[in-house]
Structure 1
Amino acid sequence: MGTLTNSQPVPAPDLMGLLRHHGINPTQQRLEIAQILLARPQHMSAEQVLLEVNQGQALVSKATVYNTLGLFARKGLVREVIVDPSKVFYDSNVSAHQHYFNVDTGELTDIPGHTMTMPGLPTPPEGTEAVAVDVIVRVRNKD
């Protein structure tokens, strides 16, 4: 299964059409990566996708996974969430929402888009427009 938006699951056979809709040539390896990442709304690192797609066998290279995830993000199929310079998640939910990042567990979870407002955003420089606001609220487990 894949997701076109947060709440619209797409059956696995339609993944080819979903990739084409986003301007992505649906190769077998891209379809396998999409099937894993878009199975449900989730946050996965490239390493997690690599482990899932290969399931103990070296079928898809690390470079292919990283390149495919980058392509998916550039084409708007997934959202790239950079938690810190060494930790990037790929979010299958591309709707407007923010995130909690648990520094103890390394887990990234959604903050529903309707629960957080951004009042008083500065006016962008002349000739530009704001396209997104990304907020990551870092939390830790209570003792």
Structure 2
Amino acid sequence: MQQYTRDNMAELLRSHSINPTHQRIEIAFALFSRQEHLSADQIMSLVNTRFSETSKATVYNTLNLFVEKKLVREVIVDPSKVFYDPNTQEHHHIYNVVSGELTDIDVSAISIGSLPNLPEGLVTEGIDVIVRVRPQNILS
């Protein structure tokens, strides 16, 4: 497993054509050093424990840039809950609707038999499967 430092975060950002500002490095470090699925609020909290200077707008703008440059994946588990995933390899997710925990599923663990015919001129860019779970003793 790769060891992430603030120094190699700058290199990682540059490799994705992102200018490595102080705040972008801190946001990337919060994501990659933990290797967890984090919300923007969780990332802001982590970044601001070290430096309390990063605004919510900066975090969201930076995360949107990271998604645009394919540095992280955006995982939308419901309209009000978005996670940012530093694992950009093809994979799927299990989302616990009670605990809010999001975990990876290896792509080989799910088989998709077929896809609908696409309109002319369109191709499939990717498939994201989110399996929503809850403890058996808790009714939805």
TM norm structure 1: 0.89
Counterpart CA distance in 1 for 2:25 and 2:71 is 13
Deviation of residue 55 (structure 1)? 1.1
**More strand by percentage:** 1
Q: How does 1:16-95 map to 2 (within 5 A)?
A: 16-55=10-49, 58-95=52-89
- Give the distance between the partners of 2:35 and 2:52, measured in 1 at CA: 26
| Contact persistence 1:9–1:40 (CA under 8 A) | no
CA contact (8 A) 1:82 1:88 kept: yes
Distance in 2 separating the partners of 1:35 and 1:128: 36
Structure 1: unaligned runs, 5 residues or longer:
1-7
In the alignment, what sits opposite 1:14?
8
Counterpart of 1:23 in 2: which secondary structure? Answer: coil
1:108 paired with 2:106, answer no
Q: Which consecutive residues of structure 2, in runs of 5 or more, have no partner in the other structure? A: none
Distance 1:57 1:22, change over 3 A: closer
8 A Cα contact 1:40 1:92, kept in partner = no
User: Deviation at 1:124?
Assistant: 2.0
Task: Tell me the distance in 2 between the aligned counterparts of 1:103 and 1:11.
Answer: 30
* Greater helix fraction, Structure 1 or Structure 2: 2
Shift of the 141–17 alpha-carbon distance from structure 1 to 2, 3 Å rule, reads: same
Match for 2:93 among 78, 93, 99?
99
The Cα of 1:81 is off from its aligned counterpart by 0.3
Residue 142 of structure 1, aligned match among 127, 130, 136: 136
DSSP 3-state at the match of 1:137? strand
> 2-side partners of 1:117 and 1:93: how far apart?
20
| Conservation of the 8 A alpha-carbon contact between 1:81 and 1:89 | yes
Q: Which has the higher contact order (CA 8 A, sep 6+)?
A: 1
Q: TM-score, normalised by structure 2?
A: 0.91
Report percent identity of matched pairs.
52
Q: Which residue of the other structure, out of 105, 116, 120, is the alignment partner of 1:122?
A: 116
Give 3-state SS (helix, strand or coil) of 1:42's partner.
coil
